[in-house]
């Protein structure tokens, strides 16, 4: 009708639920919409007054779980216009409940109109399933916390149309879930038809666009997108995002708009780096070209002699003290430069950022005595002093406040007894950054203190704990180890707040996305060689390309998580929840990339030393640095407002 295609889900007796038998019909419909030049815009809605889409109809005989298990995921969810490559405007007219599969249409529509009785809900979690990806897509239109709450709480969190279409506050900078008002059900189709007529009008000529631009320029509500660097044409094959290739971050720079005329103008992240920052990146890459053989990121223990040499070379350039204040011998650079440095080092697989130059030095600068600064900062800056964290214990891994290693005050010294466990690279380090209890046993975090301990001090015993990747962690035993009072950092019983500050200093470099990009590129290279040598058929190649494309998107998502943390820190905003989400996304992405190599390459992946190492290292990384369960709890409490219960 007048260039508008009306697509109606017509199963009101089943709540307009989707069924596998409708898959082919939807593909045919979207093919017609895409290919018919007379169709300029499409409307998707549901028959009846109360139903748009109630997810998948699991009650029918043809829709058993076996149907989905035996089909590739990509084949079982091709319902929406976007999934079927329809690049014409689409309006979703939601006149009832939108749940599960219905979210495909909501997420992928250009305009969403909802009747007042419409609501949005996800029941995956209530039937024992993981929340679907379309809910993450809703974060493009909803606040991220709302989209995640819908995913985590299932039917217990129903988002009504009135709330979904509420105009966002300029302060929060959110974009709304649905465009326009919330008409009653009989009016939603008429309203969507009028919107479709406007959306389907022929494209204005260049001259009229120029006149419109000049007119808009006089408006105080003009939409001013932030400048972006021009990009070349997209590659035909899925490819990994280039290391540091244009996805950068600075404090909120651009301006965006959510409605006509930019009524919902809000700050957007600027993903570009400055020319000076890009110049620094080039300098780092040039430096790393001379250290291609280091390969200490995955297994630093085996590569430590070369890693230590490289750290000394970095110390000569001042890079180990890159962000230290100048009065303490640093270069006074910013967080973004520090991120670039260690992201490039991670992509080169050279090493992980040393704890001495980060957590230890920054804590000493903030809380150390003048004597401690004179004693420790110069050798840390030059790469001659290295530390291992002695935090975790056999009964206090994720809950450090319950640790038992005790430091008792005896005159002008402390005597330490206890055990630490799962420390990284202790056998190669010079000193221990020890967390011990100096308060009462029940004091929890209020009774902890920090100390510097010589690894070779009498009474210190370090034992290896071999890991599956051929490297090792360590356990440390303290038996009447005497520590001078001058080696206590900060006040007695004051370590808890100091540790929180130190962790905040390091959030932007703890999980560099360059490592994920490199894992992905290694897997792509392995699979490409295998496919060529084994002469895979076209079907297998196509399925493999699709799998690799999904992983490419995953690598980009990890980079965006990392840049959100960096952006928040650069603006002085708390990044606790963002950092927790980044850690979960980072480690899970590494595991999925490694798993894909084995799914696609089979036994050949096990025979490839690099691929085998990627899998071995990724397997246990969801534990180190805080388990994924702990990180998800932080996100749930701080981003979603959920109670611990």
Active site residues: 506
Q: Tokens at residue 342, please?
A: 């260690």
Q: Is the dihedral of CA 522, 524, 528, 534 positive or negative?
A: positive
Find tokens 């059900």 and name the residue.
185
Helix (H, G, I), strand (E, B) or coil at 279: helix
Residue 20: DSSP 8-state: G
Q: How far apart are CA 454 and CA 464, in angstroms?
A: 18
Which run of H or E residues covers position 93?
A: strand 90-94
Q: Which of these, 87, 243, 91, 292, lies nearest to 180 by C-alpha position?
A: 91
Question: By the 8 A CB rule, do 520 and 618 touch?
Answer: no
Cα 357 to chain centroid distance, Å, stands at 25
| Integer Rg of the chain from CA | 28
Which run of H or E residues covers position 388?
A: strand 387-390
Count other C-beta atoms under 10 Å from residue 429's C-beta.
Answer: 23
Q: Tokens at residue 357, please?
A: 């130059």
φ and ψ of 297, to 5 deg: -70, -45
Q: How far apart are CA 523 and CA 527, in angstroms?
A: 6
DSSP codes of every residue in 120-176 = EE--GGGGT-PPPHHHHHGGGTS-HHHHHHHHHHGGG--EEHHHHTSPPPTTTTPPP
Q: Which of these, 262, 236, 267, lies nearest to 251 by C-alpha position?
A: 267
What number of residues does the chain have? 645
Q: How far apart are CA 594 and CA 605, in angstroms?
A: 9
Edge to edge, the sheet with strand 97-99 lists 51-54, 97-99, 119-121, 159-160
Q: Which residues are CB-neighbours of 551 under 8 A, at least 6 positions away?
A: 238, 520, 523, 592, 593, 596
Cα 32 to chain centroid distance, Å, stands at 38
Q: How far apart are CA 314 and CA 356, in angstroms?
A: 13
**Surface-to-core class of residue 23, CB atoms within 10 Å of its CB (0-12 exposed, 13-18 middle, 19+ buried):** middle
Q: Tokens at residue 483, please?
A: 């520590």
> Could you tell me the CA-to-CA distances from 387 to 1, 74, 356, 357, 429 in Å, in that order?
72, 48, 5, 9, 5
């Amino acid at each position: 009708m007048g260039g508008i295609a009306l697509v109606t889900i017509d199963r009101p007796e089943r709540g307009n639920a989707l069924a596998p038998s409708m898959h082919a019909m939807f593909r045919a419909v979207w093919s017609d919409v895409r290919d018919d030049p007379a169709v300029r815009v499409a409307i998707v809605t549901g028959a009846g007054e109360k139903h748009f889409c109630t997810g998948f109809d699991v009650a029918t005989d043809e829709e058993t779980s076996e149907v989905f298990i035996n089909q590739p995921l990509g084949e079982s969810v091709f319902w929406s216009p976007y999934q079927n490559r329809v690049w014409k405007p689409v309006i979703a007219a939601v006149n009832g409940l939108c749940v599960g599969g219905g979210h495909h249409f909501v997420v992928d529509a250009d305009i969403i109109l909802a009747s007042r009785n419409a609501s949005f809900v996800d029941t995956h979690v209530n039937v024992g399933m993981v929340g679907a990806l379309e809910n993450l897509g809703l974060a493009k239109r909803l606040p991220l916390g709302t989209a995640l709450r819908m995913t985590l709480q299932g039917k217990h969190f129903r988002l009504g149309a009135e709330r979904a279409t509420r105009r966002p506050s300029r302060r929060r900078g959110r974009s709304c879930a649905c465009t326009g008002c919330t008409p009653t059900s009989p009016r939603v189709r008429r309203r969507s038809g009028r919107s479709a007529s406007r959306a389907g009008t022929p494209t204005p000529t260049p001259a009229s666009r120029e006149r419109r631009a000049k007119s808009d320029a006089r408006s105080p509500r003009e939409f001013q997108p932030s400048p972006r660097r021009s990009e070349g044409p997209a590659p035909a094959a899925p490819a990994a995002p280039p290391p540091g290739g244009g996805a950068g971050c600075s404090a909120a720079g651009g301006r965006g708009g959510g409605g006509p005329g930019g009524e919902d103008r809000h700050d957007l992240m600027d993903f570009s780096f400055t020319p000076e920052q890009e110049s620094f990146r080039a300098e780092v890459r040039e430096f790393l070209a001379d250290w291609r053989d280091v390969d200490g990121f995955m297994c630093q223990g085996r590569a430590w002699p070369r890693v230590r040499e490289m750290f000394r070379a970095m110390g000569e350039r001042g890079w180990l003290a890159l962000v230290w204040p100048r009065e303490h011998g640093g270069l006074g650079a910013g967080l973004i430069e520090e991120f670039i440095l260690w992201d490039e080092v991670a992509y080169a697989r050279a090493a992980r950022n040393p704890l001495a130059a980060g957590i230890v030095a920054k804590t000493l600068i903030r809380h150390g005595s003048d004597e401690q600064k004179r004693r420790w900062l110069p050798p840390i800056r030059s790469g001659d002093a290295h530390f291992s964290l002695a935090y975790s214990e056999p009964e206090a891994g994720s809950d450090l406040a319950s640790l038992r290693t005790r430091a008792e005050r005896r005159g002008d010294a402390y005597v330490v007894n206890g055990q630490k466990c799962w420390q990284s690279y202790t056998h190669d380090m010079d000193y221990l950054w020890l967390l011990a209890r100096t308060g009462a046993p029940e004091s929890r975090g209020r009774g902890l203190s920090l100390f510097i301990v010589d690894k070779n001090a009498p009474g210190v015993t370090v034992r290896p704990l071999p890991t599956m990747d051929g490297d090792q962690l360590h356990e440390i035993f303290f038996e009447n180890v005497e520590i001078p009072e001058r080696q206590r950092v900060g006040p007695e019983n004051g370590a808890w707040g100091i540790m929180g500050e130190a962790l905040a200093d390091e959030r932007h470099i703890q999980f560099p996305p360059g490592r994920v990009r490199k894992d992905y590129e290694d897997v792509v290279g392995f699979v490409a060689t295998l496919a060529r040598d084994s002469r895979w058929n076209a079907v297998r190649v196509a399925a493999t390309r699709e799998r690799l494309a999904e992983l490419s998107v995953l690598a980009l998502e990890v980079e965006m998580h990392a840049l959100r943390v960096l952006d928040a820190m650069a603006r002085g905003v708390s990044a606790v929840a963002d950092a927790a989400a980044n850690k979960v996304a980072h480690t899970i992405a590494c595991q999925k990339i490694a798993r894909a190599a084995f799914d696609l390459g089979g036994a050949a992946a096990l025979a490839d030393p690099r691929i085998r190492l990627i899998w071995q290292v990724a397997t246990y990384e969801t534990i180190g640095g805080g388990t994924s369960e702990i990180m998800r709890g932080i996100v749930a409490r701080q981003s979603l407002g959920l109670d611990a219960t």
